[in-house]
């Protein structure tokens, strides 16, 4: 794996393209922007159009790139934009940090195009010869996966439609938060109350190889009443951090750490429901996906599931992960000692998975609801966090049927991000079409490639699925939370890439 300093801009102005081969591979050096590529159709859903992207949207991304064509750094980006349904973007506000340099509140206009399969391209124009290019895949008119596929960087993230009625006031209510900071090497989860711009709460912070409880305080204020953008300060026992927030709706917020000289982080907050909580609040089968850093950037991706009895015991489970390019797959839970969990009234959960490998995987989480949670993984080296979702429905090959949007990020010798579609047919055959953007931190070059593969898949009754694609990989591993959603990773040696999928609905 190519290691990077875990540090992180003017938007890039020049783009240079060199065609490497006839298979739609583009290498881009000393510049940014990639032009519009065209993915081959992947499946039956061909109903999207420019009209599918219509309204106000918030987005966040993280990636790796070069601000000077000499050195490589991590970066984060976030913002808001308005799409008019006809291919035009207005009211773009863009925030980013790279190499301790920041651009906050950058204004732009732009254009976009959406193809029938839901894939598309966005261009943000910041001024003459200064633009950024993104590729997206819609799962519906309110959600998309996203990558910035310019030659000076690669990144991945997502965006979602904003409810404009929530723009004018500071968010209010009880929110579960999760943040991840590359520079400070920490992850945080907690439950907070937002009232009249004041924030109080409790949480857990993973920092320096240990997890510690913290008391949280802070304040928030609206700074963009027409865009849903505001500012937040969150303080705990570890320190204080400033964020821009992007309102999605009254129940969902995205966070962008604005401490450009000390931090490089993103986060989110979701309204908590279902409390006060007890052991019985965590009752059923749950699927999780997580990722983070080891001693290397993007060094670990994990997926798995477990089933609880609602009384503190975990009855069964399965676990797969890739760490620094080494895949460990289909781990079961040990019978002795049994795996267990605790829950307090605030929704704080400590969960101990005793794996058959002899390792105990401890997760500290806060329940968003009895069906969802944010968590961090207790580990002396890794900084890993993720999301937990309750499983619904039964599972077989027929559970995977229809076209889904997906993203993946990580490395395969190069830092790499993928956004596209997966189309299983319900009986074991599957197609995929996606764009991969990549960046080589050694040679300081990057680019993008369009791909299409066919293969087969098999779904187990517990929702764990495997897929093989000729010419691509024999080792995609999925954990389905429903027939519509799931987490997955690529379990090939030397590769560390994982992500999520969501069935396309709408057109």
Tokens of 385: 């966090």
CATH classification code of 165-271: 2.40.128.120
* Token pair in block for residue 357: 């490998």
pLDDT number for residue 39: 55
Please answer whether residues 488 and 503 qualify as being in contact, where contact means their C-beta atoms are separated by less than 8 angstroms. no
27-64 CB burial, b ≥16 within 10 A, e <16: bbbbbbbbeeeebebbbebeebbbebbeebbbbbbbbb
Q: What is the CATH number of domain 17-164?
A: 2.40.128
Q: What pLDDT, on a 0 to 100 scale, did the predictor assign at position 152?
A: 85
Q: In order along the chain (507 residues), what is the average pLDDT of each group of 10 residues?
A: 36 30 35 45 74 98 92 95 98 94 95 96 93 95 94 93 96 97 93 97 94 97 90 94 97 96 94 98 98 92 97 96 96 93 98 94 97 97 96 95 95 95 95 95 93 97 97 96 96 96 88
What is the model's pLDDT at position 87?
98
Distance in angstroms (rounded) separating the CA atoms of residues 405 and 156: 14
Which residue is listed with tokens 């966005």?
Answer: 122
Question: For residue 129, what are the CA distances in angstroms to 12, 82, 132, 153, 435?
Answer: 8, 22, 10, 17, 24
Whether 2 and 325 have beta carbons less than 8 Å apart is answered as: no
Q: Which of 507, 466, 497 is nearest to 147 (CA)?
A: 497
Residue pair 143/249 in contact by the 8 Å Cβ criterion: no
Contact between residue 386 and residue 103 where contact means Cβ atoms under 8 Å apart: no
Instruction: Please give the Cα distance from 9 to 285 (Å, whole number).
Output: 45
Calpha distance 59→165 (Å, rounded): 18
CA distance 479 to 178: 22
461 burial (CB, 10 Å; 0-12 / 13-18 / 19+) is exposed
Cβ pair 270, 331 in contact under 8 A: no
Q: Residue 129's pLDDT is what?
A: 85
Q: How far is CA 455 from CA 425, 427, 496, 497, in A?
A: 11, 12, 21, 19
CA 421 – CA 386 distance, rounded (Å): 22
The predicted pLDDT at position 149 comes to 83
Q: Do domains 17-164 and 399-503 have the same CATH topology?
A: yes
Q: CATH top-level class for 399-503? A: mainly beta
**CA-CA distance, 67 to 153, in Å (whole number)?**
9
Give burial (CB, 10 Å; 0-12/13-18/19+) of 22: exposed
Domain ranges of the chain: 17-164, 165-271, 279-363+379-390, 399-503
Secondary structure in 3-state letters for 14-32: CCCEEEEECCCEEEEECCC
**Tokens describing residue 294:** 């080891």
Contacts of 291 (CB under 8 A, 6+ apart): 298, 300, 301, 302, 384, 385, 386, 409, 410, 498
Give the Cα separation of 16 and 104 in Å (integer): 26
Instruction: Identify any residues that bridge with 138 across adjacent strands, giving them in sequence order.
Output: 144
């Amino acid at each position: 794996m190519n290691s990077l300093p875990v540090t992180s801009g003017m938007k890039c102005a020049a783009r240079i393209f060199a065609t490497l081969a006839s298979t739609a591979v583009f290498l881009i050096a000393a510049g940014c922007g990639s032009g519009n590529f065209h993915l081959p159709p992947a499946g039956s859903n061909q109903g999207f159009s420019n009209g599918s992207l219509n309204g106000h949207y918030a987005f966040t991304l993280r990636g790796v790139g070069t601000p000077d064509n000499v050195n490589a750094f991590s970066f984060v980006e976030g913002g808001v934009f308005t799409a008019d349904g006809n291919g035009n973007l207005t009211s773009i506000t863009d925030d980013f940090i790279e190499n301790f340099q920041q651009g906050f509140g950058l204004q732009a206009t732009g254009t976009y195009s959406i193809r029938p399969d839901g894939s598309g391209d966005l261009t943000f124009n910041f001024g003459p010869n200064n633009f950024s290019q993104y590729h997206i895949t819609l799962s519906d008119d309110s959600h998309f996966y996203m990558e910035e596929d310019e030659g000076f960087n690669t990144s991945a993230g997502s965006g979602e439609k904003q409810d404009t009625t929530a723009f004018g006031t500071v968010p209010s209510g009880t929110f579960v938060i999760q943040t991840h900071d590359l520079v400070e090497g920490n992850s945080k989860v907690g439950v907070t109350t937002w009232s009249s711009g004041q924030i109080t709460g409790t949480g857990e912070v993973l920092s320096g190889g240990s997890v510690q409880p913290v008391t949280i305080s802070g304040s928030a204020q609206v700074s963009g009443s027409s865009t849903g953008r505001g500012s937040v300060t969150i303080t705990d026992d570890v320190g204080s951090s400033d964020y821009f927030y992007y309102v999605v709706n009254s129940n969902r917020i995205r966070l962008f750490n604005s401490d450009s000289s000390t931090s490089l982080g993103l986060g989110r907050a979701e309204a908590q429901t279902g409390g006060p909580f007890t052991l019985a609040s965590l009752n059923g089968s749950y699927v999780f996906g997580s990722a983070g850093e080891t001693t290397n950037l993007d060094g670990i991706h994990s997926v798995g599931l477990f089933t609880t009895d609602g009384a503190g015991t975990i009855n069964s489970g399965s676990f797969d992960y890739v760490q620094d390019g080494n895949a460990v797959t289909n781990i079961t839970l040990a019978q002795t000692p049994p795996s267990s969990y605790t829950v307090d009234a605030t929704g704080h959960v400590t969960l101990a998975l005793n794996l058959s490998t002899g390792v105990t995987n401890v997760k500290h989480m806060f329940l968003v609801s009895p069906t969802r949670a944010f968590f961090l993984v207790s580990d002396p080296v890794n900084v890993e966090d993720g999301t937990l979702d309750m499983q619904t429905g039964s599972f077989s090959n027929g559970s995977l049927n229809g076209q889904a949007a997906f993203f993946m990020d990580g490395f395969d010798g190069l830092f790499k991000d993928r956004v596209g579609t997966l189309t299983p047919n319900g009986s074991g055959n599957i197609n995929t079409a996606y764009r991969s953007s990549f960046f080589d931190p050694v040679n300081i070059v990057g680019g993008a490639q369009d791909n299409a593969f066919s293969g087969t898949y098999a779904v187990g009754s517990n929702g764990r699925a495997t897929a093989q694609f000729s010419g691509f990989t024999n080792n995609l591993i999925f954990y389905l939370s429903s027939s519509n959603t799931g987490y997955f990773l690529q379990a090939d040696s030397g590769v560390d890439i994982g992500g999520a999928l969501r069935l396309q609905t709408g057109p």
